[in-house]
Structure 1
Amino acid sequence: MTEPPPRLSAAQVAARLEVRIETVYAYVSRGMLRRSRDRAGSWFDPLDVEAFAVARRRRSRSTLPPPRGRSGAPLMVVDTDVAHIDDGELFYRERSLEELSHGTFEDAVSWLWQAPPPSWHASASEAAGLAATAASSLPPESALIDRVRVAVATLGAHDVLRHQAGSDNLHRIGWALLRALPHALDPSVRPTTSSIAEAIACSLTTTSDPTVTRAVDLALTLMIDHDLAASTFVARVAASARADGYSIVQAALGAFDSPLHGGAPRAAARLVARVVQGSSAAAAVAEAAQLTGSVPGFGQPLYDGIDPRAAALLPLIPALPQGAGVAAAVDELAAVVSARTGLMPNSDLALAALGVAAGMPEDGGVAIFALGRTAGWIRHAAAEYDERPLRLRPRGNYVGP
């Protein structure tokens, strides 16, 4: 017997669109949203709802007045010299992703921070050991991001120089974190390399395949920065209060560890894995939309077309150990989602594809995202250190009784 396709109730649609149920039925009566009916009530196709949500967001940005009670604008606008988007392309300062992709993650970080990595010596090995020991105190089934957060706190607690002021100390802390945190991902593995990408690949997979290392290296570079995402803004707020580098990264990780931000590649990995395991792309997407309220791995409001980070990383997937099947699954998913909603692949899908194709844990893409973005948080923190302290404090507007 064929399993019926996933579907949404009117209440679920209202939650997805952030409107009242009466508004959902108003959309139906105007012919803007399709529904089916049976004895149990009204039912909606998740992909139809997602397509409507996308179109509604676009109309709202371009023509509609802001919703009642909301400004419709960002809380504040902060000048940044780290990343910018121009004509659908992402740049770090004046260099494009395509240009940066020819080097290593360390090259990109050294240039962005204007601080070359220190030589690998005894202190670096000690920090790696501390990170691994801290992570090993957690249950084996712990999420990778929890291992990272525990390792950051432990490394900070053991650094007697953490409170020294200035960008030089911030960069020292940044390099210590980037080199030590890969060892927290799997405490039972102690990579002997000083390459950050190779250490991550060794910790997240059972092989030292150079194609995996190269893909991880590129992914780290691609994820360094992307406008003022929630975690990046939190990092700047902490730096504005003159927190030390470990506390800045710890604060940013708190905002990052959320389903709408850093956790998004995990949901996308489940979607890709379902198709690789034999589910049809249409059924897998509809089920994901029903469970999460959106289509994981697709859509990035800052771009009209494909996310350039996905465009850079996805071509590397076929060469990975399980890449052929994953690449085919991604193509199937992209065809279904694009046809029904107009959404294009984003960086979450690319990270998910990398993780599944390389045989990583389900949250492998989340870990790569976090470690790459750590470099961006440090860069933003250094910039904020040059600003007036405590400037990022909005004034509250009391609206209570």
Structure 2
Amino acid sequence: MRDQEPAPLDAERRLSTKEAAELLGVKPETVYAYVSRGQLSSRRVTGGRGSTFDAREVEALARRNRRESAGSSPSGGELSVRTRITLIESDRYYYRGVDAVDLATRHTYEEVAEWLWTGRMRPGTTFTAPAASVAVARRAVDTLPEHAAPTDLLRVATIAAATADPLRFDLSEDAVLGTARTLIPTLVAALPPAGHDRRDEGPLAHRLWTRLSPRKDPDEASLRALDTALALLVDHDLAASTLAVRVAASARAHAYAAVSAGLGVIEGPLHGAASGLAHRLLVDVLDQGDAAPVIADELRAGRRIPGLGHRLYAAEDPRARALFALLEQIPRAEPALLAARDIVETTARHAPLHANVDLALAVLTTSCGMPPTAGETIFAVARTAGWIAHALEEYGERPLRMRPSGLYAGPKPPQPLPE
């Protein structure tokens, strides 16, 4: 028996937080999480504390949530995708059943990537880029204008590397793993240096540092934080970019093309580019010495506060918690850490939201002298390993299964020919 739809709400009525939570069937703090993700708009109560919400928006969101929780699409197909890679539950996440934070804090990015791909740990593994692949990728990247975004550089480098690989159409597991182990270091090698000589040997995080920070002699704590950030971000279940990768792999696109699909999605402000917004917010707070006026300006402009809240975690993002713990060991990161804490505490006065990994990345990039786009670069390089894992998994499924049917809502045919 279907649940009865509630009667339409008064279009002019505004709901309290308690009323909105009851209609949505969630806790009050989850209502504010919807606001932080741009799924609801709120209005502060005049002369008091708390917020009100548009009744029509809340009702529409409740209907969407009911449809999604039904577990099937209009065409009868499953909305979920079976995977053995990442599990997220109870404010923790796991890579192949192993706590991802434990893996990331005890192993290098390359070792965690290997675990994700094969389920085997290969201590001391490092990725090496073929000279021919690096050469063609660098030539392609060098043709781009100086203002090109990191994802522009990485997309072009990916396509260029594909042209140098005559075996790219081999979708066997061994061939795809070979591609993965060379593509990721090729992407890093193709990035321009950050004011000093490139480093093309050693752990991948050390090589990436020379592309992101102008500081020539990084301390071990900073390098460890960067390496751990990469490992923490390797995968996060079916994020939007990962779903795009699986769709491409379902059509049997080769691994380079599948990665390119992910890079095309990751550039959105609600995905990979979110860390850059958090970086700029953090810099504004550091410049003004107080989060309150900066937060007020953001809210006055109708913008959500970047770096706060996550739809999959009711408490603090475990990736943020792990990264903050490492950053606390870096003396020069203290101002940025205090500014981040100020942002969380100031916003918590009306929206009980926790820090997410974008805010932690912003502290890392700010304290290491990196540009606002550095977090997006870290995110894209890290997630490439996860995309390869999902592409490999999808290659083992029925081809073209990622093909939902549209629910047509246009004019009923037949319609007359247009004049």
Q: For this structure pair, what is the TM-score category when the shorter chain's length is used for normalisation? A: 0.7 to 0.9
Aligned pair partner of 2:373 in 359, 363, 369: 363
Q: Give the TM-score normalised by structure 1.
A: 0.82
SS of 1:277's equivalent in the other structure is helix
1:282 aligns with 2:292: yes
Q: 1:215 to 1:131 in 2, by over 3 A?
A: farther
**What letter corresponds to residue 329 of structure 1 in structure 2?**
A
**What root-mean-square deviation, in Å, do the aligned CA atoms of Structure 1 and Structure 2 show?**
3.3
Aligned pair partner of 2:166 in 149, 160, 163: 160
Counterpart-to-counterpart distance in 1, 2:322 and 2:404:
37
SS of 1:339's equivalent in the other structure is coil
More deviation, 95-104/130-139: 130-139
Aligned pair partner of 1:203 in 187, 196, 211: 211
Match of 1:27 in 2: 14
Q: Give the TM-score normalised by structure 2.
A: 0.79
More deviation, 239-248/335-344: 335-344
**What letter corresponds to residue 327 of structure 1 in structure 2?**
L
Counterpart-to-counterpart distance in 2, 1:49 and 1:150:
50
More deviation, 279-288/143-152: 279-288
Counterpart-to-counterpart distance in 1, 2:258 and 2:49:
38
Q: 1:185 to 1:289 in 2, by over 3 A?
A: farther
Q: 1:330 to 1:60 in 2, by over 3 A?
A: farther
What fraction of aligned residue pairs are identical, expressed as a percent? 35
Match of 1:141 in 2: 147
Alignment check: 8 A CA contact 1:51 1:341 kept: no
Counterpart-to-counterpart distance in 2, 1:347 and 1:271:
14
Q: Any unmatched runs of 5+ in structure 2?
A: 1-9, 21-41, 74-78, 412-419
1:71 aligns with 2:81: no
Q: 1:120 to 1:369 in 2, by over 3 A?
A: closer
Q: 1:243 to 1:335 in 2, by over 3 A?
A: same
SS of 1:343's equivalent in the other structure is coil
C-alpha offsets along residues 50-99 of structure 1, whole Å, 9 cap, x if unaligned?
9667xx99x889xx84159x834475111111111232111111111232
Moved over 4 A (4+): 28-33, 43-46, 48-53, 115-121
Shift of 1:193: 1.7
Q: 1:365 to 1:268 in 2, by over 3 A?
A: same
1:93 aligns with 2:72: no
Q: 1:111 to 1:154 in 2, by over 3 A?
A: same
Counterpart-to-counterpart distance in 2, 1:51 and 1:106:
46
Counterpart-to-counterpart distance in 2, 1:149 and 1:50:
44
Q: 1:184 to 1:337 in 2, by over 3 A?
A: farther
Counterpart-to-counterpart distance in 1, 2:314 and 2:127:
43
Alignment check: 8 A CA contact 1:240 1:390 kept: yes
Alignment check: 8 A CA contact 1:321 1:357 kept: no
1:181 aligns with 2:187: yes
**What letter corresponds to residue 98 of structure 2 in structure 1?**
R
Q: How many residues align?
A: 365
Q: 1:29 to 1:302 in 2, by over 3 A?
A: closer
Counterpart-to-counterpart distance in 1, 2:18 and 2:201:
60
More deviation, 181-190/220-229: 181-190
